[in-house]
Structures are given as C-alpha cells and as structure tokens.
Amino acid sequence: MSTKYEIIADKIRQRIIDKTYEPDNYLPNQKILMNEFNVSRTTLNKAITVLVMEGLVYSKRGAGTKIINRKFWYENENTDKHYQGLAARMKKANRILVNKIIEFNVELSNNIIQNKLKLKEKSPVYKIIRLRVLDSKPYMLEHTYIPVNLVPGLTEKESEKSIFEYMRNILKIQFSGSFKYFRADIPNSYDIEYLKCSENDPIFQIEETNFTLNGEPIEYSISRNKYNIRGYALREVNFK
C-alpha cells in the first residue's frame, strides 16, 4: 500500500508525463496543491522531493517548483522508482516475479558489513541470499544484509514475498534514498549455478545501501545478473 505522499507524487508525475503540467512551467503553488490533495505542507513537500530525486522538477526558494524540459522523458517515461521495490514494479508491469531463498540466517556482522551499515562490532544481521526469477527465468542473484535491531521479526517466509513491503507496510519504515555502485565482474560459483551462465559470461553487479528517512543505513545488498538480462539508465541534467 502506497503512502499518501507517494500517491500524490504518482498523480503529479502523470500530469507531467501527459503534459497537463507543461515543460518549462511551474507547478501550481503549494496552497493550491495542498487544498486539492487535502494534505499538509510536509506531506506535499515529501511528494515534491520524490519528483526532484527523479529529475522531473527542481525547486528554487522563492520561485516555486519548475518542470524540467527534457524531451527524452516523454519518449521513455520510466523513472527510477526503486523506492517501490522490485516486486511492486514487476506486478505493475504484469510480470511474474518469484523469490527463491538460497540462504536465510542471522549471523554476527563482519568488518565489511559493520562499515557498510554503520554497526557496532558483532551486531547481528540477517544474511539473505535470494534468486529472483522473472517470468520463469533467472533474473537476479541478490545477497542482502539487514540489521536485526532495525527490522525485527523478518522471516524466511516474508523474504519469499517482499522484504521492502515488509519494512514499509508492517514496520512502517520510511526510506530516503540509496547509494549504488555499478561494476562488471566475472562469474563466481553461485552465478554459474543459479544464473545459468558460463565461466566466460560477464556479470553486471550493483552494490547498494538503502537509507531510512533519518539517514540510517538499513540494508546493504549486492545484486548480480548475467550481462544480457538487465541494464541501467542514468540521466544527467544541467540546471540553468
């Protein structure tokens, strides 16, 4: 279930895409939008922040929020909606995603995980390895580490569904963003076994840390897929 600010962001985004709100123009002022959606200024600002992070608008103090004119957004309107989680995105696309648990354990964090998640020495973490199967084909091999104290009660059964939805809907955790590092790699034994790749197939890897609304790292993951399964598009925008 989406939060109020996510619903508002979805509606404004769609108006930008279908050009109800024209490029190079400003969004209606905050009072108009607050009255239309019947929300507080804080909730509206959260929605606007989502659109800023997607690169659709930018806000300038005293001037309002302007829609950025970039033609390619309307040719391909898929923005980075990682905050929805992969399961939700695939469901909206009418695709079938199945999570197969390879490993689910609670263990004491090592130095690498402590550094990534800003944990004290030997803090317990969930270690979860999942094969994400999309439309009956291996899609992604995901190695995930989550602090037990921040996500209590996570089970293998929940991990088979959506870890993100468990954190957001059950524990009411709000997310602020993520840091991602991309690189190519050679396949390891896990990749060869679960992604059905050969020893010579390049692997695309995303190393990612997700943060809560107060800036606390809550999840560190390494996602790997065969070179021809998934790509990633990034936008570079110059604000004038």
Residue 59's SS3 state is strand
User: 43: domain CATH number?
Assistant: 1.10.10.10
For residues 97 and 207, membership in a common domain is answered with yes
pLDDT in tens, 120-145: 999 999 999 999 999 999 999 999 99
Residue 24 domain flag? yes
Which of residues 199 and 55 earns the better pLDDT score? 199
Q: Is the pLDDT of residue 156 over 90?
A: yes
d(CA 145, CA 149): 12
CB 98 within 8 A of CB 87: no
Q: How many domains does the chain have?
A: 2
Residue 215 domain flag? yes
Identify the domain containing residue 160 by its residue range: 82-226
pLDDT value, residue 153: 96
pLDDT value, residue 124: 98
Residue 235 domain flag? no
d(CA 209, CA 229): 22
User: 144: domain CATH number?
Assistant: 3.40.1410.10
pLDDT value, residue 76: 43
Please report which confidence band the pLDDT of residue 56 belongs to, taking 50, 70 and 90 as the band edges: confident
CB-based contacts of 160-164 (< 8 A; 24+ apart in sequence) = 160/99, 160/100, 160/101, 161/87, 161/99, 162/85, 162/86, 162/87, 162/88, 162/99, 163/85, 163/128, 163/219, 164/84, 164/85, 164/86, 164/87, 164/88
Q: Is the pLDDT of residue 32 over 90?
A: yes
Tokens 């002022």 correspond to 29
Please report which confidence band the pLDDT of residue 52 belongs to, taking 50, 70 and 90 as the band edges: confident
For residues 54 and 26, membership in a common domain is answered with yes
pLDDT in tens, 114-126: 999 999 999 999 9
Q: Is the pLDDT of residue 68 over 60?
A: yes
Mean pLDDT score of the chain: 87
Tell which of 47, 75, 103 closes a domain.
75
For residues 43 and 104, membership in a common domain is answered with no
DSSP state of 166: I
For residues 140 and 47, membership in a common domain is answered with no
pLDDT value, residue 207: 96
Q: Is the pLDDT of residue 70 over 80?
A: no
pLDDT value, residue 12: 94
For residues 46 and 153, membership in a common domain is answered with no
Which of residues 102 and 214 earns the better pLDDT score? 102
pLDDT in tens, 74-112: 444 444 444 567 777 788 788 889 999 999 999 999 999
